[in-house]
Structure 1
Amino acid sequence: MNAVSLAVNGIDYGGWLDTSISAGIERQCRDFTVGITWKWPGADVPRRVTQGDKCQVRIGQDLVLTGYVFATPIRYDDASISLAIGGRSMTADVVDCAADNRPSQWRNTSILNIVKALAAPYGIAVIGEADAGLSLADHMVDPGETAFESIDRLLRMSRLLSTDDAYGRLVIAEPGSAGRASDRLELGYNILGGEAPLDFSDVFSEYVCKGQRSGTDSDFGPAASEVEARVTDDRVARRRTLVLNESGQMTTDIATKRVSWERENRISKALETRYEVQGWRQANGDLWRHNQIVRVVDPLIGFDRDMLISEIEYGLSEERGTITSMTVAPPEGFMPDPPEPERRAKKAKGKKGDAFEYLLPPNWEK
């Protein structure tokens, strides 16, 4: 049920003693490493896998990655041989390789179609789980940028997320689109360990977005060349101002939504917490998945709320067995249109439960 298999060129390889498979909602390509060690003289060296081979990784019957082999490290000494295979999702080519489209500019084209055009030269299919039908007046590839850097610039301005799926496709996603986890993460029940830096050094009291757009006969001068939006956050007691200089065709509406998203995203990142649980599956047999909503009950850190699994890693070692490591964060910071902080009530004195109600809605329901 939990055996990891690697299929390369129609041949399945198993029996791995060390495994790491990781994915994340803000990562464009998941990756894997599998390894095995045996003593001399041991078994024959397994049939060699070649860098660039297309592969699939499964946990039991569940497909978790479709991509390519990138590395085949080998190490040996007078007592043993260690062989490993590492690879990444097909979308790695979008991350690594240049945006070399001709033409390299789009006008009045939907976000989804621009992303498809940027991914097409590398044979990557694009799936839209979020509303990416909004048309942009203009998007141009910057010289030297990768396909992903151009996609990221496009999506960031539109407050959308992109990741990959088990089939190696690029997915324009929305928070929680993978559904809700059936199990809770609960201290004293299934949490083996947790780590929360609770670092608010990247949180500010005021966010400013500045940009410009091409002028027209009816839209010119400062209205086009000096686009600006500001939003404050009274949850930060002293003045701390961050200015975002954005490229692309900026409008006041886009700039306003951009700073609102930035404000909530930074609070969410400040509350990111990493948890470990035993095993890779929940009680109902489903794998833990990134982009799922999970209830976190952790009175030691102060959580009793729904969180988003933003990153996940399936690990296997001889010392610890199967371990799932996951990073969770409040989903509000990933939403295209986060709720306004002024609508949130202050936490009542003496009230038990979540320690961060003054920062975020106490119950976020998908």
Structure 2
Amino acid sequence: MTPENEVTLYVNGEKYLGWTSVQIEVSVNSLVRACQLGAARTSNRASLCEGIEEGLEAVVKIGSDTLLTGFIVNKTISYTHERSDIQITIKSKTVDLDECMIPPGKPHQWKRATVSSVIKTIAGYYGIEVVDNGLAKNVRAIDFSTHETIGSGITKLLKDDSLLINDDEFGNLVVCGKTQNGEAHDQLIYGQNILTGSRAHDISKVFKTYVVIGQGTDPESKNSKPANSISEQAENSDFPRNRVSVTEQSGNRTRKELKSRAEHLMANSIGNADVLTYQVQGWRQSNGDLWKQNMKVRIKDPMLGINQRLLVSKITYRLDKDGSTTTMTLKDPSAFTVTDLPDVDKGKKTVAKKVQKGTTFLAKAGSGRL
């Protein structure tokens, strides 16, 4: 292993080298990256893991590139009369947001605040910094559930802008969009740098027609109640046979909103139906940069019938007896289209509005009140 690719674990200022097995996984729209490290010693006369204790903060690097900053969450030691082995799992600092709720007594309701400021406040309960580059700037009333994990709640908050969440190599929470890491320097080309390739095309969740039904106020309606059944749909013109998906939308919605959700559902299902997996030798591109998740990569592979740019949705760096490899799962960016509509703003009170004498509409479109 060359110095630029040597994996180093740092714990309490100590460096641990000589790992014989490495697996580091990072996924798009996943809050926590994880790393498993393994080593063996032919003599069991001395401890193999002195100084490596569960709960301690740790940093994992490939050469000079930091890959993960977090905590040791698991340690397994085994031995025979011939050798001793250690397996360590390190997870990003953001693991606490993924697994924990808002601590009792901490604020969880805001009458009017930016989504960014709320996320920073809540992540701060566990000492996590937030990087959002000004993306989560919506101002709204927010009631953050105290009965669900922080990560789950943040994901719901961000659906207004179809934003994604990730952790970064320093253990920060990152609010980002698709293709956050830009364009890869290298292409994946059959017969050149691809070791193995596969393509799984599953249309079991793809339909010809996507229908969304709901309730919406209609000022021209003769009904005495402002609740009328409405529906909109999106058509997948490339699908060969009649298949219909029907989704019910909660709240008081407009036709435009239902149409938008139908289109999102269609894009998401089509994007997730086609999954490609490639393995390449090493962890770096030809320019020295590491392969990364959430970057676009050009693929030229006549064996799998693909010649286009796709998004790296998951990346796994491995080291084993066969050397170092990078495995990438790739999808069309539409696979990460958010399929839910933003929650209606329950923080705003709806004021009765008289349209004409004897007629009062009690709710406006999008208020969520019927």
> After superposition, what is the alpha-carbon deviation per residue over 1:67-108, rounded to whole angstroms, capped at 9, x for unaligned?
111001111223221112111111111111114574433444
Q: Report the residue type matching 1:128 in the other structure.
A: D
> After superposition, what is the alpha-carbon deviation per residue over 1:9-67, rounded to whole angstroms, capped at 9, x for unaligned?
11111110000011011211100011101223466534131111111110000011111
**Alignment check: 8 A CA contact 2:108 2:146 kept:** no
* CA apart distance, 1:118: 3.0
> After superposition, what is the alpha-carbon deviation per residue over 1:204-232, rounded to whole angstroms, capped at 9, x for unaligned?
2333456789xxxxxx9646x97865333
* CA apart distance, 1:270: 1.1
State the match for 1:329 in structure 2. 331
Distance, in Å, in 1 between the alignment partners of 2:17 and 2:144 is 43
Structure 2 portions without partners, runs of 5+: 217-223, 340-370
Structure 1 portions without partners, runs of 5+: 214-219, 338-366
SS at match of 1:72: strand
Distance, in Å, in 2 between the alignment partners of 1:265 and 1:50 is 42
State the match for 2:125 in structure 1. 121
1:133 corresponds to 2:144: no
Distance, in Å, in 2 between the alignment partners of 1:112 and 1:125 is 12
- The residue correspondences of 1:79-158 to structure 2 (distance < 5 A) are 79-100=82-103, 102-129=106-133, 131-136=135-140, 138-142=141-145, 144-158=147-161
Distance, in Å, in 2 between the alignment partners of 1:227 and 1:123 is 46
State the match for 2:39 in structure 1. 36
1:202 corresponds to 2:205: yes
TM (norm. structure 2) is 0.80
Distance, in Å, in 2 between the alignment partners of 1:296 and 1:130 is 32
Distance, in Å, in 2 between the alignment partners of 1:189 and 1:333 is 28
**Alignment check: 8 A CA contact 2:271 2:333 kept:** yes
1:21 corresponds to 2:24: yes
Distance, in Å, in 2 between the alignment partners of 1:151 and 1:251 is 25
Identity of aligned residues (%): 33
SS at match of 1:275: strand
**Alignment check: 8 A CA contact 1:157 1:258 kept:** no
* CA apart distance, 1:152: 1.6
When structure 1 is superposed on structure 2, of 195-204 and 14-23 the one drifting more is 195-204
SS at match of 2:241: coil
State the match for 2:349 in structure 1. none
- The residue correspondences of 1:46-85 to structure 2 (distance < 5 A) are 46-85=49-88
**Alignment check: 8 A CA contact 2:101 2:146 kept:** no
State the match for 1:263 in structure 2. 266
State the match for 1:282 in structure 2. 285
- The residue correspondences of 1:302-313 to structure 2 (distance < 5 A) are 302-313=305-316
Distance, in Å, in 2 between the alignment partners of 1:50 and 1:133 is 40
In 2 relative to 1, CA 245–68 (structure 1 residues): closer, same or farther, beyond 3 Å? Answer: farther
* CA apart distance, 1:247: 6.7
**Alignment check: 8 A CA contact 1:130 1:172 kept:** no
**Alignment check: 8 A CA contact 1:159 1:261 kept:** no
State the match for 1:238 in structure 2. 241
TM (norm. structure 1) is 0.81
**Alignment check: 8 A CA contact 1:118 1:151 kept:** no
Q: Report the residue type matching 1:127 in the other structure.
A: V
Distance, in Å, in 1 between the alignment partners of 2:177 and 2:136 is 10
State the match for 1:351 in structure 2. none
Distance, in Å, in 1 between the alignment partners of 2:119 and 2:255 is 23
SS at match of 1:37: strand
> After superposition, what is the alpha-carbon deviation per residue over 1:244-282, rounded to whole angstroms, capped at 9, x for unaligned?
456789666555434323321221111121110000011
When structure 1 is superposed on structure 2, of 43-52 and 116-125 the one drifting more is 43-52
- The structure whose Rg is larger is 2
Distance, in Å, in 1 between the alignment partners of 2:214 and 2:160 is 11
In 2 relative to 1, CA 107–235 (structure 1 residues): closer, same or farther, beyond 3 Å? Answer: farther
* CA apart distance, 1:201: 1.1
**Alignment check: 8 A CA contact 2:98 2:150 kept:** yes
Distance, in Å, in 2 between the alignment partners of 1:298 and 1:130 is 38
Once superposed, what is the RMSD of the aligned Cα atoms? Answer: 2.9
In 2 relative to 1, CA 28–248 (structure 1 residues): closer, same or farther, beyond 3 Å? Answer: farther
**Alignment check: 8 A CA contact 1:157 1:254 kept:** no
* CA apart distance, 1:303: 0.7
State the match for 2:359 in structure 1. none
Q: Report the residue type matching 2:245 in the other structure.
A: L
**Alignment check: 8 A CA contact 1:231 1:260 kept:** yes
